[in-house]
Amino acid sequence: MRATVIAELGSRLSSGSGRPKEGVWLFTALVLTAAIPVLLLGGWMAYITADQERSYARKAATEALTQAAHRIEGEISRELQVAETLASSAALDQGNLRDFYLEATRIVAARPLWETAALTKPDQEQVLNVLRPLGAPLGPVTDAESFNAVLRARKPVLGGLGPYQAAIGKQLVSLRVPVIRDGELRYVLTIGLLPDQIGTILGQAGLPAGWAGTVVDAKEKIVARTPDTKIAKAGATTPAVQEAMARGGSNSARTQTREGIDVETVHRVLAGTEGWSVHVGVPVSELNAPVSRSLRLLFGGTAASVGLAIALGLVIAREIAQRRRMEALQSAAALMDSEKRGALAIDAAELGTWRWDLSANEFSGCGRFCALLGLAGARSGETRWSADRIVALVEPPHRAALASFATDCLESGRSSSVEFPLQSDDRGEYWLRAAGRAEGPPNRRHVIHGVLADIDVLKRAETERSHLLRRLASAQEEEQRRISRELHDQIGQTVTGLSLGLKALEQGLAKGGNGEAATEQVRWLEQLAAQIGRDIHRTASDLRPTAIDDLGIFKAIEAYVAEWQERYGIRVDIQTFGRDDSLAPDVAAVLYRLVQEGLTNVLKHANASKVSIVLEKKSEGLALVLEDDGIGFDPEKVGRVASRGGRTSGLGLSGMKERVALLGGTIAVESAAGKGSTIFVQIPMEASEAVR
């Protein structure tokens, strides 16, 4: 309407007969007067919109900075965990550098962020570096500051960017981890991280096109930057980075990229990196683009102001959509990261995940779930089966427990579990435990989510221990019966004979018999008394070998072996080293019983002609080796029979294992059909030391 009025007024002035120049000036003034409010309103709206867009861009920069920082922190944390795992390698327990060198070489080849791994003594003497052959001379330690920090704090330290070694000729980042054994810092494990790989991680953090990112170490050296991922020379710093760090959180630092682009920077210190920081730069031209666009629209006039209003609406809508899209991407990234962590935890625990939809009568599970059930499944993703097929794998006596487990999950809404056995051709019978939970309101629960774990080892140990306890009780009862029989059949009969002989001697002396008969009667009674003493001594020795207290454990074992060899005619070769009878009484008794049980097993089962026994006391503990040339056996088969409750004669290997386990020791058996058998026993020094 205003334009119509101005056009009409101009038409009137041009058609009038008055002063034309004054009419043109008036028309121009009216146009300008009408345009001024529009221009002011348009300029104000343009300014507000441009300022909002700058705020959105700065906020987006802060969010991108946070995402990049979290990604780099996560990657460094994972690399630190791998480095600490390598530092705890068993090869370093015995100082086996060759095995550690091979292990470190494999890990370096598998980690894209790793360039090398080196092992250095506390006196800064390098003993190995996977980039050089084992035993080759190595240069001095670089980044001595981070090396000394590890020696002081005895904890992992992330160093700065610097030359790793002159022979390598590369700029690397040193990640140092202490190698501590028995409270002593023996080595410092140094991992050389590739700066260009850190730049790759920064580039994958999702920075918008045209934005610049920089990772700076604690000494303000540029470690990596994007889009230019080339590392700056050692010692290179930028005034803008120093200014931003000096501001301690200010987001208004201005600088120029290496490409000459003016940017505003935001930065954040990385947690757990000893002062590293990540910086994100937003091009100033991108921040000021809305302002430039507003100025062009202002000079366009009133008609351009209307177009500007429409454009501003579109820009606002676009920014809102972009913000929502960015938030959706961040949420999706966070969800994906959470799912990855959950999957990693499940894989580390060797669990199989499953889903049971009771309304659809359908099971779905991952590859590990398929492997535990012995089913063929997809390598990735989930595989589906009917619930009837899964239930059919369970033995009929245990199906009711599985159904009760499902009912309990649906009704209670709480976590529940069930244990059941399965049969397979290669493993025989093995046990699994399923744990799950159903979500949702009580009347709408029909899906159970859970995990499946292999508990066969625990079940086998529990069964074997229960079976051993039953056999121990049975053996104790049998020993009591044996002692009762010996007391009754041998000592009791001898005592009866002694009593009758004394009665006869009494009667003969009363009648005044001849002295020779009485003397013969006394000698016979003395023999009976001696026999009683021998029987009592033998019974007492079976319960507690007195030779251990009288002769010491080594001589007691040698005496028992000599007697056993003479009694059964099987040659026994015994060797003892480090003879020292200052052993704890329980350890001495266990050693004696182990030799007894081992020789008893040889006599009953081995059909051997020769037995070798080696007993040695060393600084780390006791070692016992018992070897025979008999028919041999399958140790795994014997273990499975014992764990399944099968019948075995006596306590056997299970009893020996139980005795050794009570002392914190280990026992290993090597045998094969027709090749004899060997038993290795190790008892730690803590258990074998005598009680003072």
pLDDT at 613 over 90: yes
pLDDT at 358 over 50: yes
**Using N-to-C axis directions, what is the helix angle for 515-543 and 493-511, rounded to 10°?**
160
| Mean pLDDT (whole number) for 572-601 | 84
Highest mean pLDDT among 64-73, 222-231, 625-634: 625-634
| Mean pLDDT (whole number) for 495-503 | 71
Give me the pLDDT at residue 306, please: 52
Q: Which residues contact 72 (CB under 8 A, 6 or more apart)?
A: 198, 201, 202, 205, 215, 270, 278
Instruction: For residue 415, give both structure tokens.
Output: 């976590």
pLDDT digits (tens, 9 = 90+) for 52-63: 776 777 777 777
* SS3 per-residue string spanning 213-262: EEEECCCCCEEEEECCCCCCCCCCCCHHHHHHHHHCCCCCEEEECCCCCE
Give me the pLDDT at residue 573, please: 93
Task: Report the distance separating Cα 505 and Cα 486, nearest Å.
Answer: 27
- Among 91-95, 363-367, 648-652, the range scoring the smallest mean pLDDT is 648-652
Give me the pLDDT at residue 506, please: 67
Give me the pLDDT at residue 178, please: 92
| Mean pLDDT (whole number) for 111-123 | 87
How does DSSP assign 282-327, residue by residue? Answer: EEHHHHHHHHHHHHHHHHT-HHHHHHHHHHHHHHHHHHHHHHHHHH
pLDDT digits (tens, 9 = 90+) for 646-674: 444 445 677 788 788 888 889 999 988 88
- Among 205-209, 262-266, 319-323, 564-568, the range scoring the smallest mean pLDDT is 205-209
Q: How far is CA 431 from CA 388, 424, 454, 463, in A?
A: 20, 11, 6, 12
pLDDT grade for 628, boundaries at 50, 70 and 90: very high
Q: What's 442's DSSP letter?
A: G
- Judge contact between 255 and 238, C-beta under 8 A: yes
pLDDT grade for 233, boundaries at 50, 70 and 90: very low
Query: Chain-wide mean pLDDT for the chain?
Result: 74
pLDDT digits (tens, 9 = 90+) for 423-468: 887 777 888 888 888 877 877 788 888 888 888 778 777 777 777 6
pLDDT at 18 over 50: no
| Mean pLDDT (whole number) for 666-686 | 87
Give me the pLDDT at residue 644, please: 47
Give me the pLDDT at residue 648, please: 44
pLDDT digits (tens, 9 = 90+) for 594-603: 898 888 888 8
pLDDT digits (tens, 9 = 90+) for 413-435: 888 888 888 888 777 788 888 88
pLDDT grade for 386, boundaries at 50, 70 and 90: confident
Give me the pLDDT at residue 571, please: 92
Q: Could you tell me whether strands 610-618 and 621-628 are parallel, antiparallel, or unpaired per DSSP bridges? A: antiparallel
pLDDT grade for 681, boundaries at 50, 70 and 90: very high
Which secondary structure element, helix H or strand E, spans residue 44, and what is its range?
A: helix 20-87
Percent of the chain at pLDDT exceeding 70? 66
Give me the pLDDT at residue 484, please: 65
What phi-psi label fits residue 479: left (phi over 0), alpha (psi between -120 and 50 degrees) or beta? Answer: alpha
Give me the pLDDT at residue 235, please: 43
Give me the pLDDT at residue 10, please: 46
- Among 182-191, 211-220, 264-273, 510-519, the range scoring the smallest mean pLDDT is 510-519
Task: Report the distance separating Cα 387 and Cα 410, nearest Å.
Answer: 16
Percent of the chain at pLDDT exceeding 90? 3
Which secondary structure element, helix H or strand E, spans residue 460, and what is its range?
A: helix 456-486
More confident residue, 191 or 349: 191
Q: How far, rounded to the nearest angstrom, does the alpha carbon of residue 416 sit from its chain's CA centroid?
A: 25
pLDDT at 2 over 60: no
Which secondary structure element, helix H or strand E, spans residue 36, and what is its range?
A: helix 20-87
- SS3 state of residue 683: strand
pLDDT grade for 627, boundaries at 50, 70 and 90: very high
Q: Can you give the C-alpha Rg of the chain in angstroms?
A: 44
Task: Report the distance separating Cα 213 and Cα 203, nearest Å.
Answer: 8
* SS3 per-residue string spanning 87-135: HCCHHHCCCCHHHHHHHHHHHHHHCCCEEEEEEECCCCCEEEECCCCCC
Give me the pLDDT at residue 301, please: 55
pLDDT at 346 over 70: no
Give me the pLDDT at residue 678, please: 92
Residue corresponding to tokens 């059930």: 373
Q: How far, rounded to the nearest angstrom, does the alpha carbon of residue 89 sit from its chain's CA centroid?
A: 13
- Among 10-14, 117-121, 543-547, 682-686, the range scoring the smallest mean pLDDT is 10-14
Give me the pLDDT at residue 189, please: 87
* Dihedral angle sign, alpha carbons of residues 562, 563, 566, 569: negative
Highest mean pLDDT among 40-49, 87-96, 329-338: 87-96
- Judge contact between 190 and 117, C-beta under 8 A: yes
pLDDT grade for 48, boundaries at 50, 70 and 90: confident
Task: Report the distance separating Cα 613 and Cα 672, nearest Å.
Answer: 19
Give me the pLDDT at residue 6, please: 44
Sheet order of strands, 383-386 included: 383-386, 362-365, 352-357, 447-454, 428-438, 416-424
In DSSP terms, 118 is beta-bridged to 129, 190
- SS3 state of residue 379: coil
* Dihedral angle sign, alpha carbons of residues 657, 659, 664, 669: negative
Give me the pLDDT at residue 47, please: 66
At residue 124, what is the residue type? Q
